[in-house]
Structure 1
Amino acid sequence: MARDTLDETPITGRAELVDHIRKGEKPAADFRIGTEHEKFAFNLADHAPVPYEGPSGIGRVLSEMKTLTGWEAIEERGNIIGLADPAGGGAISVEPGGQFELSGAPLQSLHQTCVEANGHLAQVRQIAERLGIGFLGLGLAPTWARADMPKMPKQRYDIMTAYMPKVGTRGLDMMYRTTTIQVNLDFSSEADMVKKMRVGLALQPIATALFANSPFIEGKANGYRSNRAAVWHDVDLARSGPIPFAFEEGFGYERYVAWALDVPMYFVKRGDCYIEATSATFADFMDGRFDKLPGERPTMGDWVNHLSTLFPEVRLKRFLEMRGADGGPWRRICALPAFWVGLLYDPGVLDQAMALAAEFTAEDRHHMWLTVPKDGLGTMVKGRSVAEIARDVVNLSAEGLKRRGYKNSDGLDERVFLAPLEDAAHSGRSPADELITAYEGPWKGDVTHVFTTNAF
């Protein structure tokens, strides 16, 4: 999760909010890849979640990571809650239940992305093993009840924890018991953003099916391939979901801003203090109607922070965030950005992906969003399985990566990172399907095997 900002530039009108996003435009030659991945921390001795406090807690891991990396500490009320590369590269943060996240640097190639991910995991492992901690690559905590989850000392999480039960039944599961892999990608113009947004939203269920990796909850099979994706069906639909308005004629920056303005805020940050703000929308704040700061108008920092509290399947900031994949093992960390870079960064392939996405009606897209979490690659739409559609999509992505032509020292281009997705699309089996087979077979119903098979 992004570091909250204190940019005090005053906002005088809506045009500035639109212009803030527009300033993310950059020429294609400057497009970069920013990969984020989360993982669960657990105690090796008993598989329990790791608290923040204590000699082997998350706070200790962050402190030792600071020493190892030389990155700057991000602190809140005296607690270290993250790290930032002073050279402007990546950052490390903790999610509400102690999920450990790397927000990667903006990199040029997927080869660099995979080196970054492997380096980070090696550093984390070096520290964690000494403290008796492991890290788990699954989309949803497999054995822990919600009450078991530790809490991190971040004020924004306290506000969200109090608010979530008012707007859905699974918001606390989302916060405390899920992990994801996502990729942040650039756009060159408003028209380019719209294309990428629509392709991303239409094909997000395909990514969800390919990366499905959360079939267990509280020690049992839960009936889903991606329970993490199912959680999002009842979190807070005012700020999440597949935002169908993105497919309406005239969609662009202004329409997204109009939607964001009407979403309730979580907080307003002033100094080190987070002011609870869930009773007001950003539009209310713009109009001076936020009663906790009477007469005060928002700053650009408030807007940036508010954009980070919206959770659509594809999120627009000064870049686009693809948010549909479960957390998973290191090969999947590299595969997720490869999937989307291949589809979105070559103009010809993007046009082909647009044509493929256009075959789905609004009803088709909604059906996939609802059904893929349970049925995964076996979901049927327009007389075809999602696995069949995924083969076409992965082939398109491979063509896009081939055209990019970024090769490693062995002369291999970025298509190598699609291998696990090609396997899943052709077999019709996601990581969740493999886990379910093991659970029903050699594991004999003992979910705790995942703390070995799915540990980093």
Structure 2
Amino acid sequence: MSIPQSGGGPIERREQLVEYLESGCKPAADWRIGTEHEKFGYTLRTHRPLPYEGDCSIHAMLSGLSSRFDWAPVREQGKLIGLEKAGANISLEPGGQLELSGAPLETIHQTCDEVNTHLAQVKAIADEIGAGFIGLGAAPDWTHDDMPLMPKGRYALMDGYMDRVGTTGKWMMRRSCTVQVNLDFGSEADMVQKFRVALALQPVATALFANSPFWEGEINGWQSFRQRIWRDLDAARTGGLPFVFEDGMGFERYVDYALDVPMYFVYRDGEYVDALGQSFRDFLDGKLPALPGEVPTLSDWADHLTTIFPEARIKKFMEMRGADAGPWRRLCALPAFWVGLMYDQGALDAAWDLCRDWTQEDREALRHDAAKEGLAAKAPGGTMLDLARACVDIAEAGLKARARTGAGGLIPDETHFLAALKDSLARGESMADELLAKYHGEWNGDLSRIYVEHSY
């Protein structure tokens, strides 16, 4: 999850909220790719999650990365809770999941190099302290009580609030992991088209990247249990955002939506002030109960936008949020999939043509069925498998049109990063299908084998 934002003076006009989002518009030459991915840490000896402190711990990981690889420490109330370097940061999810939020980069070649470097650094420190890391959408056999809560004020507030607004929020916080990509837009109209494609086709990413069929040591009946968790988390801040597909959609309409999402906190002087369930609209009027008489700053608005969790969301850029975390090839495939669809106008138009006639009922059914059935799900007018193949074909064409070379010009474009997805489509099987086949076959029901075979 995001770190506190900084900068920006008091909000004096409501229009500043719209202008903040609109300021993210960039010419296509300046569009960048920011990839974020989370992973579960565990002790090699016991396969139990890493505690925050100790010889084999989250703190030991962060300290080792900082001292060995020159990452600058980030602290909260004296506690080491993250690292930063050269536009990237390493942060902690609530249950100790380690997240790399990558720097904004020009090509997927660079993104994948960044992933490789990060995972090599993590493994170097993990090997020394007796830890391992695995990329899955949901913890396969850990319970809630197994998971520590990281020492961040934001998480303490959220943890106490989740049971008031849903049934699975604490599961999301402690026992889920994702990979996402952050992309730019050129104008309001470009944002709207990309946002609609992102929300409509997010279930395709869910199906392609599904790898969380286990929960608390049992088969859970879902291809992406991580995505199932999001369904019952907090209806006020999650879901598919039907209004995005209505006439009049733009930055101002998103601001209206965001203002109606209840607040979590206000960050002041290094501390999180409890504003749970309060209204940002009241904050604008100086009537926030948590800080009576104060009006928000632009950094407060930026913080509030990070507490909204739809399938895709906008800040000064757009985040694709529908995929389970996974192995190395899929960490590189996720940005390839969305960059291919979004960063070439011909590909973006073709992607929109796939889904422009869907109803809200179509989109919601696909969102459910993708999480439940993966590539075996039905889709409007056909099957998820056919839809996913069409999307990957469009993404491949988009990457070819981008023609961003790698390896000093030896690699003509970025299409090879789609290989993991094309392999799955050729077999008609997701990674969840592969894991279930192993569980019923060579693993003979021994789920501990997942740590041996699928860790980084």
- Length-normalised TM-score, structure 2: 0.98
- Give 1:283 deviation, angstroms: 0.9
Q: Is the 8 A contact 1:6 1:269 kept in 2?
A: no
Report the counterpart of residue 70 of structure 2 in structure 1. 70
Distance 2:205 2:299 in 1: 32
1:337 aligns with 2:335: yes
Residue matched to 2:298: 300
Secondary structure of 1:73 counterpart: strand
Q: Distance in 2 between matches of 1:8 and 1:391?
A: 44
Q: Equivalents in 1 of 2:137, 2:110: separation in Å?
A: 24
Structure 2 equivalent of residue 45 of structure 1: 45
User: Which residue type is aligned with residue 449 of structure 1?
Assistant: R
Residue 371 of structure 1 and its aligned partner are, at CA, apart by: 1.5
**CA displacement 1:201-233 (0-9 Å, x = unmatched):** 000000000000100011111111000000010
1:354-390 CA-to-partner distances (Å, cap 9, x unmatched) read: 1112132211101011121111111112341101110
Displacement of 1:428: 1.7
Deviation at 1:423, TM superposition (A): 1.6
Gaps of 5+ in 1: none
1:162 corresponds in structure 2 to 160
| Structure 1 range deviating more: 330-339 or 354-363 | 354-363
1:384 aligns with 2:382: yes
The one-letter amino acid paired with 1:67 is S
Write the letter of the residue equivalent to 1:65: L
Q: Secondary structure at the match of 1:290?
A: coil
Aligned mates of 1:255, 1:144 — CA distance in 2: 40
Helix, strand or coil: the match of 2:368? helix
Q: Secondary structure of the residue that 2:263 maps to in structure 1? A: coil
Deviates more, 1:431-440 or 1:284-293: 284-293
TM-score with structure 1 setting the length: 0.98
* Residue equivalent to 2:31: 31
Partner of 2:439: 439
Shift of 1:8: 5.2
Matches within 5 A, 1:262-281: 262-281=260-279
- Give, in angstroms, the shift of residue 55 of structure 1: 1.9
- Could you list the per-position Cα deviations for residues 299-348 of structure 1 after superposition, in whole angstroms to 9, with x for gaps in the alignment? 11110100000001111000000000001001000000000000000011
Q: Percent identity?
A: 53
Q: Contact 2:379 / 2:387 at 8 angstroms: preserved in 1?
A: no
Matched, 1:124 2:122: yes
Q: Hey, what does 1:105 align to over in structure 2?
A: 103
Aligned position for 1:420: 420
SS at match of 1:182: strand
Query: Within 2, Cα distance between the matches of 1:381 and 1:331?
Result: 26
Deviation of 1:292 (Å) = 2.0
Aligned length: 454
**Aligned residue identity for 1:276:** D
- Partner secondary structure for residue 264 of structure 1: coil
Counterpart Cα distance in 2 of 1:183 and 1:418: 15
Counterpart residue number, 2:394: 396
Q: 1:95 aligns to what?
A: 93
CA–CA distance in structure 2, aligned partners of residues 386 and 79 of structure 1: 45
Q: Deviations over 1:144-195 (max 9, x none)?
A: 0011101110000000000001111000011100000000000000000001
Q: Distance in 2 between matches of 1:75 and 1:207?
A: 34
CA RMSD of aligned residues (A): 1.0
SS at the partner of 1:447?
coil
Deviations 1:262-314 (A, max 9, x none): 11110001101111101312112112221121111111111010000000111
